[in-house]
Amino acid sequence: MCPRSAEQVEQLKDERRSALLRAARVVFSRKGFAAAKIADVAAGAGISHGLVYHYFPDKEALFAATVSLAVEGWQSLLSQVLEEPGTPLDRLTSLCGKMIAGLGDEPEYLLLIIQAHTGEGVPESLRALLQQHRRKVFEDLTTLIVEGQRAGLIVREIPDALARALLALIQGMAINRLIDAGETPPPLVVVTRLLKV
Amino acid sequence: MCPRSAEQVEQLKDERRSALLRAARVVFSRKGFAAAKIADVAAGAGISHGLVYHYFPDKEALFAATVSLAVEGWQSLLSQVLEEPGTPLDRLTSLCGKMIAGLGDEPEYLLLIIQAHTGEGVPESLRALLQQHRRKVFEDLTTLIVEGQRAGLIVREIPDALARALLALIQGMAINRLIDAGETPPPLVVVTRLLKV
Amino acid sequence: MCPRSAEQVEQLKDERRSALLRAARVVFSRKGFAAAKIADVAAGAGISHGLVYHYFPDKEALFAATVSLAVEGWQSLLSQVLEEPGTPLDRLTSLCGKMIAGLGDEPEYLLLIIQAHTGEGVPESLRALLQQHRRKVFEDLTTLIVEGQRAGLIVREIPDALARALLALIQGMAINRLIDAGETPPPLVVVTRLLKV
Amino acid sequence: MCPRSAEQVEQLKDERRSALLRAARVVFSRKGFAAAKIADVAAGAGISHGLVYHYFPDKEALFAATVSLAVEGWQSLLSQVLEEPGTPLDRLTSLCGKMIAGLGDEPEYLLLIIQAHTGEGVPESLRALLQQHRRKVFEDLTTLIVEGQRAGLIVREIPDALARALLALIQGMAINRLIDAGETPPPLVVVTRLLKV
DNA sequence: TATGAATGAGCATTCATTCAT
DNA sequence: CATGAATGAATGCTCATTCAT
């Protein structure tokens, strides 16, 4: 009845929703959409499987929300880096550093996106979101690379090819992180060798 | 009954086994172990789903055989390249070229290995095989890299880190190939920038 | 705490109980016991689904109460008509008229009784109540019919058969009312043709 | 391999399909769509629940097929009677007789149609089929009644009202048959009293 | 051998019921 | 008392696996 309680209830709901999404990120990224069990996600979030359906209408919606969150995380990371000071190469280096650091905390982001791309039963709307996201990332990367090339800081290869290689490298690192959690990723200086003149 | 017939039968069996494994490679790599349906694989090989069980005892065995084949392909590619003439950098370049070319024909190999690593229901023996494979690949790569560094052809970063980065790049390219079949992979010269001094 | 409040509370409870039973009548008669959702009934009564359990111990009890009410309505209609003045045929005609009129307001009574008869999960006690009710209705009807026959007002067919036919006709009309709400039931004069000499 | 075997297999499939539809008719008519369990139908047909899905894609399709069959049975009965010789009253009497006799063997037909009309989760196409069926039955009955009235054999009430009453009576009898299997339905002569002058 | 009918374990989803607030 | 979050049993449906033909 009192506002405090209502707020707390609301907050609890949000927390649980977040916990669900966190658990979903782990489960979906490791197993893919089809193999992931709602019961696993629920267990990961510490709730009963039935309760999942109070927060998301079905497995597909939970997956879509999880992937959307990952995409948003990427987008915000990207736009944040784009506004940093320094040369284009500095910014690309910062981006790679942040992505690599992110792999430590949340190695699932990239995996999720991969699963969503390749998996079955992924709704078309989600696939469209991902395509759009992919295009945006490439555009931003390519823009930075071209700027860096003009400044003479980045090697004069086809910018698109460089962007593709950079992303492939980061994604590959995410996968290796998942395959072997103990392994340390290659240091940043190795990654940026792809770009430097 | 007559030997000829028996041979033909034997040959037919082998052909079918191969067809099955080919279909399985495609289906498993795209959907993962759990989401792949035996019926899909059978349809891909042009036989009834019941007949699959004349060639493999169960789904797990079919998956294990498929992954083993992929691993063997890698191993043979690797050992073949190691015996090539030329500098260590030449050989590494050749390896990368072959792997990239392979992505065009059979982009599934790497994906399969990833699936096998992360999936559920993968038998321990298969996981062990993969670990061993992984270790061998790293060893060989590292050896080549060290040789190249001694020859002053390869940059003096931690060899293990370079090997890791190279593999991550190739794997990432395989994934992007799967996500967007139309996309052309980055050219070899971009890939080898990771290594060159 | 004060008596006034207690009374009001009591009254509120009664009103809510009635609202629940009214909503339950509609929902149960249209969907049957199994398909009816407690949440639907609660929504129909304008309360939360949890509150239903303050008024009825479980779904079965709510159903039983709903059916009992329908039975009581029938019984009271019947006993009221039996005490009316006029010939037995007059009273039967009056009964049919009231029943037909009732279909307009509350077409669910008969349906409910049918649902209770055929449904699963209906407690034995309820089924017994219905059997007894059925027997009583037949007895009363048959008595009236026999009287009417003695008075030469009702056709000399087996009284039990006439009673059965009359009830079947009324029930069938209730069903058609439910199937097609726009349809007008056959006029009373057609119904009583079953009986008249 | 031999044609005999193939035929037998085909025949077995048809038989099982029929057995399924027979079981479905019983289960659906007694419980309605929502409360009927696929497992019950399967058990009634003597097969496992999984096999049901080799014959019908889902519960809804099984229900639709069951109802369609019932509708077809009605339609064929009706058209058969319409071509019989004799006066319109003779034909109506024959129709009622056949319907009453049918209640003995397959009391579910009418109930099914009722369930399909009132139930939840019934696809719109099925509902349309039923509406159309209903309209056709009314038309045919009304035509017969009008003819009979012209011949002076049937009472001069509103033909539509007579048709409605006749159908309601038959439906009510079907329900009572279901409620109390032991009970004998009213004799034909009582039913036709509705019509005769 | 080859087929596909048959079985049943497993998972997504729903909903009656409970209970903390 | 009133709410709706939480639980878990039940049910539709899928699919790996078996086996009669």
- Nearest chain D CA: its distance from C18 CA (Å): 25
Residue stretches of chain A with pLDDT short of 70: 1-9, 103-107, 118-121
Q: For residues D56-64, give the mean pLDDT.
A: 94
| CB contact residues (below 8 A), chain C span 156-195, against chain D | 157-158, 161-162, 164-165, 167-173, 175-176, 178-180, 183, 185-187, 189-191, 193-194
Closest nt by CA–C1' to B54: E1
Residue B58 to residues A21, B37, B51, B117, C92: CA-CA distances in angstroms?
34, 12, 11, 19, 74
Distance (Å, whole) CA C25 – CA C69: 9
Residue A196 φ/ψ, nearest 5 degrees: -60, 150
Contacts A–B by Cβ distance under 8 A:
129
Q: What is the pLDDT of residue D91?
A: 94
Interface probe, candidates B176, B184, B197, chain A, greatest A C-beta count within 10 A: B176
Distance B44 CA to F9 C1' (A): 40
Residue C157 near residue C144, CB atoms below 8 Å: no
For the record, the structure tokens of A102 come out as 């992110």
Mutate to test the interface with A, among B31, B130, B138, B155 (most CBs of A within 10 A): B31
Distance B62 CA to E3 C1' (A): 20
CB contact under 8 A, C31 and D34: yes
CA of C129 to C1' of E14 (A): 31
B45-54 long-range contacts (CB < 8 A, ≥24 apart) are B45/B16, B45/B19, B45/B20, B46/B19, B47/B16, B47/B19, B47/B20, B51/B16, B52/B20
**Residue of B34, B158, B186 lying closest to A161 (CB–CB):** B186
C190 chain-D contacts, CB cut-off 8 A? 157, 161-162, 165, 194
The pLDDT tens digits of the residues spanning B18-33 come to 999 999 998 988 888 8
Nearest nucleotide to C121, CA against C1' atoms: E16
Q: Is B143 exposed, middle or buried (0-12, 13-18, 19+ CB in 10 A)?
A: middle
Q: Nearest residue (Cα to C1') for E6?
A: D51
Identify the pLDDT of residue C146.
95
- As a whole number of Å, the CA-based R_g of chain B is 19
Residue among C185, C174, C182, C154 nearest D158 (CA): C185
Sequential pLDDT tens for chain C (197 residues): 445 566 677 777 888 899 999 999 989 888 888 889 999 999 999 999 999 999 999 999 999 999 888 888 888 888 999 999 999 999 999 998 988 887 666 666 767 777 777 666 677 788 888 888 888 999 999 999 999 999 999 999 999 999 999 999 988 888 888 777 777 888 899 999 998 87
The helix, strand and coil proportions of chain B, stated in percent and rounded to the nearest 5, come to: 80, 0, 20
For D80-107, what is each residue's pLDDT tens digit?
999 999 999 999 999 999 888 876 666 6
A118 near B CB under 8 A: yes
D32: left (phi over 0), alpha (psi -120 to 50) or beta: left
* Residue ranges of domains in chain C, CATH in brackets: 58-194 (1.10.357.10)
Read off the pLDDT of residues D149-191 as tens digits, 9 standing for 90 and up.
999 999 999 999 999 999 999 988 888 887 777 778 888 999 9
The H or E element spanning position D196 is none
